[in-house]
Amino acid sequence: MRIFVTGATGFIGARVVAELIEAGHQVIGLTRSDAGARSLTEAGAEVHRGTLEDPETLRAGAAGSDGVIHTAFDHDFSNFVANCDKDRRAIEALSAGLRGSDRPLVITSGTGLGDTGSGRPATEDAFNPDYPNPRKASEIAGAAALASGVNVSVMRLPQVHDPVKQGLITPLIDLAREKGVFAYVGEGSNRFPAVHVRDAARLYRLALEKQEPGARYNAVAEEGVPLRDVAEIIGRGMKLPVVSLSPEEVGAHFGWLAMFVGHDMPASGAQTQARLGWHPAGPGLIEDLAAMRYDA
C-alpha cells in the first residue's frame, strides 16, 4: 500500500515510517523542512511538502494515498487547547481527501479518553466526552468523519518511551532540572500507562492493515506505572531530591503539567492485543528511564 504519514520525522512517526517500509509498504511522509525531506529520503520514503496548518496539502496527501496514518501533533503545551483544535482541523482535511472511498485513516488520541471515571483502567470500548483533556477534539472529529463514510480508526497513546523521550515524563524531567527537585503529588500512587515506541509503531501498522472502521486501539504495554516509581528512578539518575507535594502546591510547581500529574490514568490494552495479535516486546518504562543519560 501507498501510505501517507503525517509527523513522519517525529519521535513516533519516524518509527512508523521505518515499520511500514520494512513491511513492504510505500511511504509518503509529510514534512515542512529541508532537513525533514533529507531524513525521509534517506529512510526510503517519498517526500510530501506541507504543514498541519495547510489543509490543502493534507487533503492532497491523503487523496494520493491508499491510506493515512496521522501521528503529527503540535506539542507546545502552553497552547494545548489551540493545538487540539488544530488537530481537529487536520483530521477534517485528511478525511476530505479520503471521502468516497474505503481507504483507511488512523488518527491519534490519548488513552485517557477511555476513562469512564469508575477507577478501572481505561478501555477501548469507552469514550468519555466529559474527560477534561481537550485532546478529545481529535476523537470527536474522527467520529464525525466516520459518520460521513470515512474509514477512521483511533490509536490511543499512553506515555510512549525509549531511553531518550518518554511522553509527558520528558517535560517533567525538564521541570526537575529547573526546580532542582523531582516532585510528585501526595503518595505518588497515581499511575501512567506506557508503551515502548517500537511497539507503538508496529501497532499503527497493524491497525492500518486491519482497516476496521470505528475501531479504537489502546497502545498499552504497561497498564499503570506509579509516578512515585518514576520519580525515584529519575531522582537517582539526576542526583536530585524527590519530594511529595500537597494538592495545594501542584499548580505553582507544575504549571501546565498540573492537569496531568495528580491524575490516576491506568489503561488496558487487552482488547487491542487480542484483536490485532499485538504482543508488546520492548523494554518497560522504568527500564528505559534507568538506561537514560541525564547529563546529556
Query: Of the ranges 130-134, 176-180, 195-199, 222-226, which one carries the lowest mean pLDDT score?
Result: 130-134
Confidence bin at 134 (pLDDT 50/70/90) = confident
- Residue 227: give the domain boundaries: 161-193+223-264+282-291
> 19 and 80 in one domain?
yes
Instruction: Please say whether the dihedral angle defined by the alpha carbons of residues 212, 81, 123 and 268, taken in this order, is positive or negative.
Output: positive
Predicted pLDDT at 142: 96
Residue 165 neighbours by CB distance under 10 Å: 16
Residue 277 lies in a domain: no
Instruction: Calculate Rg over the CA atoms of the chain.
Output: 19
Assign residue 10 the CATH number of its domain: 3.40.50.720
> 154 and 110 in one domain?
yes
Assign residue 244 the CATH number of its domain: 3.90.25
pLDDT per residue as tens digits for the range 139-183:
999 999 999 999 999 999 999 999 999 999 999 999 999 999 999
> 131 and 186 in one domain?
no
Predicted pLDDT at 296: 67
Work out the end-to-end distance of the chain between its first and last CA atoms, rounded to an integer number of angstroms: 39
Give the list of residues 6+ apart from residue 256 with CB closer than 8 angstroms, or none: 77, 78, 80
The Cα–Cα gap between 265 and 293 comes to: 27
- Is the pLDDT reported for residue 132 higher than 80? no
What's the rounded mean pLDDT across residues 98-105?
96
Confidence bin at 231 (pLDDT 50/70/90) = very high
**DSSP conformation class of 118:** S
For the whole model, what pTM was predicted? 0.95
Where residue 281 falls (left for φ over 0; alpha for ψ -120 to 50; beta otherwise) is alpha
Residue 56 lies in a domain: yes
The Cα–Cα gap between 265 and 223 comes to: 9
> 229 and 127 in one domain?
no
> 36 and 115 in one domain?
yes
C-alpha cell at 224: 499503570
- Is the pLDDT reported for residue 76 higher than 90? no
Where b means 16+ CB within 10 Å and e means fewer, 94-110 reads bbbbbeeeebbbbbbbb
The Cα–Cα gap between 293 and 290 comes to: 8
Query: Distances in Å between the alpha carbon of 37 and those of 18, 25, 33, 272?
Result: 15, 19, 6, 33
Residue 276 lies in a domain: no
Which residue's C-alpha cell is 542526583? 239
The Cα–Cα gap between 61 and 141 comes to: 19
Query: Distances in Å between the alpha carbon of 81 and those of 78, 122, 134?
Result: 9, 22, 6
> 248 and 103 in one domain?
no
Q: Please state, for a pLDDT cut of 70, what percent of the chain lies above it.
A: 100
What's the rounded mean pLDDT across residues 38-50?
97
Residue 153 lies in a domain: yes
Predicted pLDDT at 72: 96
Residue count (the chain): 296
Confidence bin at 124 (pLDDT 50/70/90) = very high
Predicted pLDDT at 48: 97
Give the CA dihedral 271, 154, 48, 1, nearest 10 degrees: 50
What's the rounded mean pLDDT across residues 95-114?
96
Confidence bin at 71 (pLDDT 50/70/90) = very high
Cβ(33)–Cβ(174) under 8 Å?
A: no
> 165 and 151 in one domain?
no
> 174 and 104 in one domain?
no
> 186 and 89 in one domain?
no
> 202 and 111 in one domain?
yes
Residue from 273, 271, 275 nearest 125 by CA: 271
Residue from 4, 80, 18 nearest 47 by CA: 4
> 250 and 150 in one domain?
no
> 110 and 45 in one domain?
yes
What's the rounded mean pLDDT across residues 221-249?
96
